Structure 1
Amino acid sequence: MASRSSWATTRCIAVLTFRPQGLSQRKIANALNHLGITTPHGGTWRLSQVHGIISRLEENVKEETQFKMLSVALNEFFT
């Protein structure tokens, strides 16, 4: 049985795969359901769940970018 973390990664990758194609979040949910990729609890995808994943991923990218900018600024300050 796959770990919860690996399933979460699989779902995130699946959602990100459809983003560059310009699909709406509703169409992403429909595509995930059509492909048989289940939600963490084994159910079907809803718009709100896809929206939640995308929001979390975007927030993670934002935080990572801010951390990198702070790291560069501190490095420049101390060198």
Structure 2
Amino acid sequence: EGIPDDVSDPDPLAFAGAPSHPPVDVPHLLDTPAACQDLVDHVAPPGYFVELRHMPNDEFLQQYNVNLARQVAMGSQLRL
């Protein structure tokens, strides 16, 4: 059904219709206050931002780099 006669080993996905595209405003759904709050609630532990607010700049950047390295390492371990 719909496969050309000269195709010996048809790939069913090659003849499927084009995938539907999401609405143009989907990326902007992440810019809502609820989406930001959800991210903060599920990613940052309680009190995390209070600790960072009172740190000097150099200590803040060092702490940020440590946390980023931990997050990357955890992500790599989860992919394995």
Q: Considering the TM-score relative to the shorter chain, is it more than 0.5?
A: no
Greater Rg over alpha carbons, structure: 2
- Taking structure 1 as the reference length, the TM-score comes to 0.32
Q: What TM-score does the superposition give when structure 2 sets the normalisation length?
A: 0.31
